[in-house]
Structure 1
Amino acid sequence: MLFWIIVAVLTAAVAAFLLKPLLRPGREADAGRAGEAEVYKDQLKEVDRDLAEGLIGAEEAEYARAEIGRRLIAASAGRSASARAMSAARLRQAAAVAVVVVLPATGLCLYLLTGSPGTPDQPLAARLENPGNNIELLVAKAERHLAENPTDGKGWDILAPIYFRAGRLGDAELAYRNAIRYLGVSAERVTGLGETLVASNRGVITDDANAAFREAVRRDPENPRARFYLALALEQAGRRDEARAAFEALQKETPADAPWQPLLREHIARNGGGAPAPAPPGGPTDADVEAAAGMDAGDRQEMIRGMVESLDARLKEEPGNFEGWMRLVRSYAVLGEKDKAVAALREALSAFPADGSEGQQLVAMARAAGLDVEGALK
């Protein structure tokens, strides 16, 4: 009932606002104008009679006619203006009826057809109690719960990976540390903490992150994510032989059809191992490499840039080429074109979401290349 009272009050207020200019008083028709014109006509006849009877001269009669004619014209103009005023007044009345009746009636009918007048209001508290599949409300509900129960480790454990995927790295680190504090250390939690620290440092594996990954491997020696980051830490430290051995060991224990095998082959090749994975369509061939060997630095750079741009164009037509996206993002990063690398990463993640295995490889590779991954995730 309160809803309809508010609607009625608002409708009345809007109608009053719209009616104000329509209800301004207009010029009223002057009923005496018609009689005044008839008097002037009679005066003209009297002038003619006086002239015929010799009571006035011809010059005086002419002046009298001119003056009476002027007044007669003024009276006739007044009648026309009054008629126009009456017509305008009728139009204003019609507009007022439309504002007061037609517009509210039309709005009410549309609301009854398309709205939900019988649906009760749902304040924020009620929505938080029943958030459904709304991730933002689920997070808000969890945050409200943790504000009241800050020692609930399960709540922090749930929020930590959600914060990480949303790019809220500071909140993710806090959530992982609280989950570890209240629930204890687990391989999954310290791996998540390590990945968050790496992301916060733009792909650089800090001592804290390294310690987290070591703890994860100590608790779960087959943890592939932690082992990859430990090998990457060796690579970043310039210990290429140790890094290659770590990547090769991980590759041997990884299924051949695992989606992160190309990434492992790439890092093995980067650290002096076997040849990298064959180039995807649009990438350089053996003939291209042989041709580039005889070029000067400028021509070679132009050739490489042309091949990268060709690969970029091909991937827009074939977005399902995962290895192609890996190579394209890395190539732009090597060329120093960070903006294009981030743009390519954003397109790649639209085909391979960041929460999937391929997307995680893309993100890890981009962070290792020092790209702004958070910008691509927005």
Structure 2
Amino acid sequence: MTAFWIVATLLIAGTLLLLLRPLVRRHTRAASVSRKATNIAVYRDQLRELEQDYAAGTVNREGYEETRREIERRLLEDVRDADETPHSGAAGRNAAVVIGAAVPVIAFALYFAVGSFESLLPGRPGAGAEQASHSISEEQIRELTGRLAARLEQEPDNIEGWVMLGRSYAALGEFDKAARAYGTAVARAGNDAALLADYADALAMAQGRSLQGEPEKIVQRALAIDPQNVKALALAGTAAFDRKDYAIAVKYWERILEVAPENSEFAQSVRSSIAEAQHLAQQAGATPAAGTGAKKPAEPASTSAAKAVSGVVQVAPALASRVSPGDTVFVYARAVEGPRMPLAIVRAQAKDLPLKFTLDDRSAMTEAMKLSAQERVVVGARISKGGNATPQPGDLEGVSGPVVVGASGVTVVIDAETK
């Protein structure tokens, strides 16, 4: 449900821009609605940029939260000031105040516009936002969405409104409606790569989380317009991954790394997906893509085993009922001391539990950090509903104690929830 709450201010931005406008009339438009609509648009852009910076790793969580709260505070002050502007008709002013009153309870979610890039990798969608206190009901959000949809019947050429409606329906889980809204926006906007990527994502969700067919064609259309569009690259890689064309998936995702900050969480998530695609390609006997995926000469079996850790992942009986067959399982090894970034990671599905695993340098995330360079490691396993490589609240996890590299028969029990 986190994604649902992230959408709230797209709704409020849309409804304030599209619904307040006809309520405050004549001479008050220039003084109140114009100022309010302008400020909301400005603050929405600021929060979109903030979310991009956070996703890219240039802003940490503390700085992100502090800046977001400050932007929300300024938005609330400006909206309240605008609502207090005199000389407006009583009916128009009162109606505007009623609609504007929704701002305090959903301003926290203004940063929806970009969303979590990690959700675009295999197993998407995920919800990258932190949990928040929810003081507005889903029914109220649905009502606002309905008002926005009704307004667009009167303003069918309002492209921004259709985009907002598409995002709103997507967050509510109504992907058929989201796809139709995005399709309407695409028909009017023409060649907009970002919009096409959003449209493809909604279509994929509407057809059972599959990018095959029309969604993938739309993704390729987006890349023809903007070859560096990150969302389109992520979706294209996911489409290739889903059809087991791992080398092609690696090529798309490596293009993302050309523009992503090297040490950001986002880049780490992309590398994790690349490593998994390379590992699966090697298991299938294919040669991974060039670059970070170049295949190395095979080592003698005895040498390879001495540099690996193998074992089995199990789920504690108390948590078994919370696991679905389609959930994603990440198994990783990290150093006992030092950076917590995984040295090696593999990906599987919960339907395969109890899961036998082998971690070695073939599943390394980077050339600079390898399992074979360690004497001891900690092995962990995590079950993700959304398929995010980055841990999220609500994931299920378990870790071993320190084990010697070369150990076999390691047992990892998933027995805790990520907080």
Q: TM-score, normalised by structure 1?
A: 0.42
State the structure with more CA Rg. Answer: 1
TM-score (norm 2): 0.39
